[in-house]
Amino acid sequence: MNNSSIYENSFLLGGGEMGKLIREKVWDETSLGNPSGWKQSLKTTITILLNTRFPMFLFWGPDLICFYNDAYRASLGTDGKHPGILGEKAEVAWADIWPVVAPLINKVLIENESTWSEDQLIPIFRNGRIEDVYWTFSHSSVQDDDGVVAGVLVVCTETTAKVNAYKLLEDSKRYYNNIMQAPVAMCVFIGSEHVVEIVNAKMLEIWGKTAEETLNKPIFEGLPEARGQGLEEIINTVYNTGERFVANERMLMLPRNGRVETLYLNFVYEALTADNGTSIGIVATATDVTIQVEARMKIEESEKRFRYVADSAPVLIWMSGIDMSCHFFNKAWLIFTGKTMEQEWGSGWADGIHPEDLSRCLATYINAFNAREEFYMEYRLKRADGAYRWISVNGVPRYTIDNTFEGYIGACMDIHEQTIYQEKLKENEERLNVVIAASELGNFEFNFSEGKLLYSPRYLQIFGHSKDTEKEHADFLKQIHPSDLDKRNEAMQYAINSGVLGYEARIVWEDNSVHWMEVRGKVFYDVEDKPIKLIGTIRDTTKIKKHQQELEEREQKFRLLADSMPQHVWTADTEGNLNYFNRSVFDYSGLSPEEISAVGWLAIVHPEDRDENVKHWMHAVKTGTEFLFEHRFRRHDGTYRWQLSRAIPQRNPDGETQMWVGTSTDIETQKTFTRELERQVHQRTRQLEEKNQELEKMNVELNSFAYVSSHDLQEPLRKIQTFANRIIEKEERHLSPKGLDYFRRMQQAANRMQMLIEDLLTYSRTNTSERIFETLSLTDLLDEVKADLKETLIEKNAILYCGKMCDVCVVPFQFRQLLTNLIGNSIKFAKTDIPPLIKIESEIKIFHEENEHNLPLGQSFCHIRIEDNGIGFDQQYNERIFEVFQRLHSKEDYSGTGIGLAIVKKIVENHNGYIIAKGKAGVGATFNIYINNET
Amino acid sequence: MAINLMRILLAEDDFDDCELFADALDEINCGADLKTVNDGEQLINFLTHCMESLPSGLFLDLNMPGKNGMECLIEIRQKEIYNSLEVIIFSTSFDSQIVEELRKNGARHYIRKPNEFSQLKKVIALAVDSINNKPGNSGNFELKP
């Protein structure tokens, strides 16, 4: 069907918005089908529905398809069911209120009865929300063409506005009644005369008047008692200005039971104004608070009394309110803390509490406060002098007579001394516990009458049980080693009698291991001297015992070892008292241990050795140094034998001497041997001494020989020479040529003998003469020598070249001799064809490295070098030339005794020096002399 | 008699040496008057008894019986009155140590008795010259022919 056909359905014409919607709706998909096929009765009903301004709604057909008109549509609001429910099944369209709607519809459909509902609340979804909507409506049936009920027509009016208006009306009615029946006294004054318009019973009660006496009369006429109490001015002001007036606990004199009484009132005057703003009257409300005020005054009075009492109390008192903060401190408190009430107010008091105690105190206070419980705590409070004192406080919640919680009151006491004492006690106890714990003692307490034993965990441990086991006294008793049981029982018996318990016993653990314990205790008695309890400690001494045993075993071993030794072994304590001797000592001396301890060990020492022995021994003991001494011990047969005694201090790890262990070894044989050796050495020494003396004597003789040589030998020789000379001079012509020759040879021999004697003398003098060292310039020394040799030097045309020179520490006359000899030597062994050139130089020299002459390193030497250009010598003779009478050349070629260089060497040796000769035949000789420069 | 006759004293125990010395002094012809003593005692005695006419020079042998030459020298040098007396040691030995000591003790010269007569004459002549030239520089302490 097309749209044009819709217009053919004339019943759908008009009808405003809903008419349009119905026309445009595609009905073919609904159970009603195309409108052209709709029954006449439906068409007629829709025509009525669309053309009435009365809100109508129609459910039609078995599906109860929904129709409604423009008037109804307003009730659906916006954003609601409209327009979705048009043509929709009722069940779907009104799903939200179906339980309300369905019975109404059914009633019409099934019973064919019309319904009437007035101002029924049916909340519906509209305007985007569920709204409370009140309806007055009627459901009636619509019959179809065949007279069968085919639909339900709902004619309705939304009465929400009406209902709400009525509700407001009800409220205002109630308001009036409220005024009239309010527990608060109320009244309304109208006009400038303040005529009482409305007054409720409460107000009349306050006024002490009846309604008749006051209603419709100016207030001060009806209530003349109120005059002259300042109310007139107040009422006028409120009336004139429109400003509200509030009075709190205002005292007023009003009539009561025929007389005037004092009342306390809270009241409010509120201006009533017309729409134009002019005052038309006053609404007054009042509350009689006389009882409260009087009660409070009483409380205030009692509080004052309380404060007076509190302030005069010697204890510190504070009070807090329900907000936990404190608002009262008594005088004692303020004096104690030295603060003012303002300082302590609220939570200012917390400043005075020791910082270490504050959080704990607050926690206690707050917890108690919240639980409304009493509390007790101790804390340190700062006194006015700055010292913190221990304070105890008892806090109790406060309640009014009617059981209203008001806060806390606390009383504090200075318990400083007490606390300190307690703390000390606690400290002592802790200390004791620490000591007990550290000493690993187990504690026990035995109650004699009950036979009950209390014990510490350590006690259990010592008995080999874990800490939390429960044991009876008998259980422990069973653990005591059977062999020690008697000992234990005896000790207990003794303890009961004497009060002191002490014994050591073995205990057997569950694993059958045996342990040692040491028990100490004290018995306490009652007034009748009956033992009540025994308090004591036990100690695990297993280790100590084991150690002791080991010690004993070791001691045993030591004794066994010592006794098996042939040497004497002994020990001494730290004082030096000998306290042990091995068997050897007894065997040797023939004394028993008792005899030795009776007479003392010194008795076996030879009387001659005793003093020294004691002296040495005490020195060793005093200084802790090793003792080493030789002395004689008396043997059992009365003979004395030499012993070498040695003792070493035994020290602990701290180096303290614990004991001395000594040995004495028989050294008689060695001693005899040594004595023999000594005797022999002595003899030998004496022989040597004799030899020495002989030698000395010989030396003296030798010296006197030198003396004799110098004078007694030289003398005759010189005379031989002189007289021979005289003969040649005076008697030469009387001699035959042969005789003259012999004579001259005799003279030469005599001359030669003189040279020998002189050189020998010089040589021997270098040995024996006194040696006085002087530091002098080598240059000066050389000058002297040069002067001595002047003529020879000139004669031989010799050049003496002196280079660098240093000072030298020598025996001057010896060194002069040395230089003379060396220079003389060079001149003597000069080459015949060239004049001798002798170079001399000296310098200080220290050798730091190995050198060709193996001179010592690091020592300062004066090195003198004498070099010539003479005939030299073969290097192989560099040692031999220094030997006495060693000549490399015949005396016919080179005169000389062969002693000159020996003298040189001797002098160098006298100076702890070294001389090294270097020579090359035909080239020259060099003498290097090193004289120690450090003396 | 020459007014400035030089007086020389010889202290010598050996008669051979005395004779040789006298011969030598005679031969050098210096006109000296020689007196001889034979030991230390005699020497000291002589000197104490001739205070007015002290000899100019004393030739002193070291090796003499009794008081020896060194002792005599020390004794003489201790007395200021003998300051003008020159002491010339006349000895066989030659020991540098002793020579040094003699010089320190105030001897004027040291002469080692030469082995040849001619040399003897020479050294005596040197010594006499030295005495005469006093206090001129005497040169070497030891006089050699």
Q: What is the pLDDT of residue A178?
A: 64
Q: What is the pLDDT of residue A8?
A: 52
Closest-CA residue in chain B for A721?
B115
Residues of A in contact with B117 (CB under 8 A): 722, 725-726, 729
Mutation choice for B interface testing from A703, A705, A709, A725 by most B CBs within 10 A: A725
Share of chain A above pLDDT 90, in %: 12
Among residues A142, A158, A112, the alpha carbon closest in space to that of A44 is found at A142
A-B Cβ pairs (cutoff 8 Å, strict): 43
Q: Which B residues, 117 through 136, put their C-beta within 8 Å of a C-beta on chain A?
A: 117-118, 120
How long is chain A? 935
- In whole angstroms, what is the distance from residue B18 CA to residue A899 CA? 34
Q: pLDDT digit string (tens) for A874-930?
A: 888 888 888 777 777 766 667 677 778 888 988 898 888 899 999 888 889 999 999
**Record: contact B93-A722, CB cut-off 8 A:** no
**B97–chain A Cβ distance below 8 A for any pair:** yes
> How many CA atoms does the CB half-sphere of A226 hold within 13 Å?
19
- Cα angle vertex A177, ends A175, A182, to 5°? 90
Q: How confident is the model at residue A50 (pLDDT cuts 50, 70, 90)?
A: confident
| B116 CA: distance to closest CA in chain A (Å) | 5
Mutation choice for B interface testing from A710, A748, A767 by most B CBs within 10 A: A710
Share of chain A above pLDDT 70, in %: 95
Domain containing B77 equals 6-143
Residues of B in contact with A754 (CB under 8 A): 115
Among residues A166, A159, A165, A123, the alpha carbon closest in space to that of A138 is found at A159
Closest-CA residue in chain A for B97?
A813
Evaluate whether residue B48 is within a structural domain: yes
Residues of A in contact with B92 (CB under 8 A): 710-711, 714-715, 718
Give the ipTM: 0.77
Residue A186: burial class (beta carbons within 10 Å; 0-12, 13-18, 19+)? buried
| Mean pLDDT for the stretch of residues A527-552 | 87
Residues of B in contact with A772 (CB under 8 A): none
**Record: contact B117-A722, CB cut-off 8 A:** yes
Give me the residue from A714, A729, A761 closest to B117, CB to CB. A729
Evaluate whether residue B67 is within a structural domain: yes
| B117 CA: distance to closest CA in chain A (Å) | 6
Alpha carbon separation from B78 to A264, B26, B105 (Å, rounded): 154, 32, 9
Q: pLDDT digit string (tens) for A133-161?
A: 888 888 888 888 787 888 888 888 888 87
**B100–chain A Cβ distance below 8 A for any pair:** yes
Q: What is residue A661's three-state secondary structure? A: strand
Residues of A in contact with B104 (CB under 8 A): none
DSSP β-bridge partners for residue A200: none
Give me the residue from B94, B95, B115 closest to A722, CB to CB. B115
| Mean predicted lDDT score pLDDT of chain A | 85
**A726–chain B Cβ distance below 8 A for any pair:** yes
Residues of A in contact with B120 (CB under 8 A): 722
Cα torsion A676, A677, A678, A683 to 10°: value is: 90
Residues of B in contact with A765 (CB under 8 A): 95, 97
Residue A839 above 90 pLDDT? yes
DSSP class of residue A713 equals: I
**B94–chain A Cβ distance below 8 A for any pair:** yes
**A52–chain B Cβ distance below 8 A for any pair:** no
Backbone angles phi, psi at A795, to 5 degrees: -60, -40
Residue A4 above 60 pLDDT? no
**A713 compared with A688, residue with greater pLDDT:** A688
Tell me how crowded residue A565 is: count the other CB atoms within 10 A of its CB.
Answer: 13
**Record: contact A711-B116, CB cut-off 8 A:** no
DSSP β-bridge partners for residue B32: B6
Q: What is the pLDDT of residue A709?
A: 66
Q: What is the pLDDT of residue A2?
A: 43
Q: pLDDT digit string (tens) for A792-818?
A: 889 889 998 988 888 888 888 888 889
Of the candidate ranges A457-466, A494-503, A699-708, A845-854, the one whose mean pLDDT is the lowest: A699-708
* Burial readout A595-619 (b: 16 or more C-beta within 10 A, e: otherwise): ebeeeebeebbeeebeeebeebbee
| B27 CA: distance to closest CA in chain A (Å) | 13
| A627 CA: distance to closest CA in chain B (Å) | 59
Q: Give the position of tokens 């078995």.
A: A62
Residues of B in contact with A758 (CB under 8 A): 94
Cα torsion A539, A545, A547, A553 to 10°: value is: 180
Q: What is the pLDDT of residue B94?
A: 72
CATH code of B109's domain: 3.40.50.2300
DSSP β-bridge partners for residue A195: A190, A218
| Helix, strand, coil shares, percent, chain A, to 5 | 45, 30, 25
Q: What is the pLDDT of residue A613?
A: 92
Q: What is the pLDDT of residue B22?
A: 92
Q: What is the pLDDT of residue A768?
A: 65
**Record: contact B117-A765, CB cut-off 8 A:** no
Among residues A886, A897, A779, the alpha carbon closest in space to that of A828 is found at A897
Q: Please, are residues B58 and B88 in contact by the beta-carbon 8 Å criterion?
A: yes
Q: What is residue A242's three-state secondary structure? A: coil
Residue A319 tokens read as 């009070």
DSSP β-bridge partners for residue A410: A318, A395
Mutation choice for B interface testing from A715, A759, A767 by most B CBs within 10 A: A715
Mutation choice for B interface testing from A717, A723, A726, A752 by most B CBs within 10 A: A726
Evaluate whether residue B85 is within a structural domain: yes
Q: What is the pLDDT of residue A6?
A: 46
| Mean pLDDT for the stretch of residues A743-770 | 78
Residue A719 tokens read as 């005379």
Residues of B in contact with A710 (CB under 8 A): 92-93, 95
| B2 CA: distance to closest CA in chain A (Å) | 31
- In whole angstroms, what is the distance from residue A51 CA to residue A49 CA? 6
- In whole angstroms, what is the distance from residue A492 CA to residue A500 CA? 9
Residue A228: burial class (beta carbons within 10 Å; 0-12, 13-18, 19+)? exposed
Instruction: Report cis status (omega within 30 of 0) of the bond before A607.
Output: no
How far does Cα A476 stand from its chain's mean position?
A: 44
Evaluate whether residue B16 is within a structural domain: yes
Among residues A757, A775, A754, A776, the alpha carbon closest in space to that of A765 is found at A757
| A903 CA: distance to closest CA in chain B (Å) | 15
Q: Please, are residues A318 and A330 in contact by the beta-carbon 8 Å criterion?
A: yes
**Record: contact A721-B20, CB cut-off 8 A:** no
Q: What is the pLDDT of residue A935?
A: 56
**A521 compared with A401, residue with greater pLDDT:** A521
Residue A419 above 50 pLDDT? yes
**Record: contact A714-B92, CB cut-off 8 A:** yes
**A709–chain B Cβ distance below 8 A for any pair:** no
**Record: contact B117-A769, CB cut-off 8 A:** no
**Record: contact B96-A813, CB cut-off 8 A:** yes
Evaluate whether residue B35 is within a structural domain: yes
| Mean pLDDT for the stretch of residues A102-120 | 82
Backbone angles phi, psi at A662, to 5 degrees: -125, 155
Q: Please, are residues A290 and A298 in contact by the beta-carbon 8 Å criterion?
A: no
**B15–chain A Cβ distance below 8 A for any pair:** no
| Mean pLDDT for the stretch of residues A326-349 | 87
Evaluate whether residue B99 is within a structural domain: yes
Evaluate whether residue B105 is within a structural domain: yes
Q: What is the pLDDT of residue A1?
A: 40
Residue A172 above 70 pLDDT? no
| Mean pLDDT for the stretch of residues A556-567 | 85
Q: What is residue A606's three-state secondary structure? A: coil
Among residues B96, B10, B6, B78, the alpha carbon closest in space to that of B46 is found at B10
- In whole angstroms, what is the distance from residue A704 CA to residue A617 CA? 58
Residues of A in contact with B95 (CB under 8 A): 710, 761, 765
Q: pLDDT digit string (tens) for A289-320?
A: 888 888 888 878 777 777 777 777 778 888 88
| Helix, strand, coil shares, percent, chain B, to 5 | 40, 20, 40
> How many CA atoms does the CB half-sphere of A345 hold within 13 Å?
4
Within chain B, which residues score under 70 in pLDDT?
A: 1-4, 134-139
Q: pLDDT digit string (tens) for A440-451?
A: 788 888 988 888
Looking at residue A124, its amino acid is: I
Give me the residue from B96, B97, B115 closest to A721, CB to CB. B115
A744 dihedral zone (left: phi>0; alpha: psi -120 to 50; beta): alpha
**Record: contact B92-A715, CB cut-off 8 A:** yes
Q: What is the pLDDT of residue A627?
A: 92
**B128 compared with A74, residue with greater pLDDT:** B128
Q: What is the pLDDT of residue A774?
A: 86
Give me the residue from B63, B97, B116 closest to A711, CB to CB. B63
Evaluate whether residue B1 is within a structural domain: no
Tell me how crowded residue A78 is: count the other CB atoms within 10 A of its CB.
Answer: 8
**Record: contact A816-B96, CB cut-off 8 A:** yes
Residue A577 tokens read as 């008292």
Residue A526 tokens read as 């009652």
Residue A926: burial class (beta carbons within 10 Å; 0-12, 13-18, 19+)? middle
Q: Which A residues, 789 through 828, put their C-beta within 8 Å of a C-beta on chain B?
A: 813, 816-817
Close Cβ partners of A32 (under 8 Å, ≥ 6 residues apart): A38, A42, A60, A61, A65, A87
> How many CA atoms does the CB half-sphere of A169 hold within 13 Å?
6
* Burial readout A4-37 (b: 16 or more C-beta within 10 A, e: otherwise): eebeebebbeebeebbebbbebebeeeebeebee
Mutation choice for A interface testing from B62, B92, B124, B140 by most A CBs within 10 A: B92
How far does Cα A389 stand from its chain's mean position?
A: 31
| B11 CA: distance to closest CA in chain A (Å) | 16
Domain count, chain B: 1
Closest-CA residue in chain B for A714?
B92
Among residues A735, A598, A580, A595, the alpha carbon closest in space to that of A661 is found at A580
Q: Please, are residues A153 and A58 in contact by the beta-carbon 8 Å criterion?
A: yes
Among residues B90, B57, B92, the alpha carbon closest in space to that of B76 is found at B57
Q: What is the pLDDT of residue B96?
A: 77
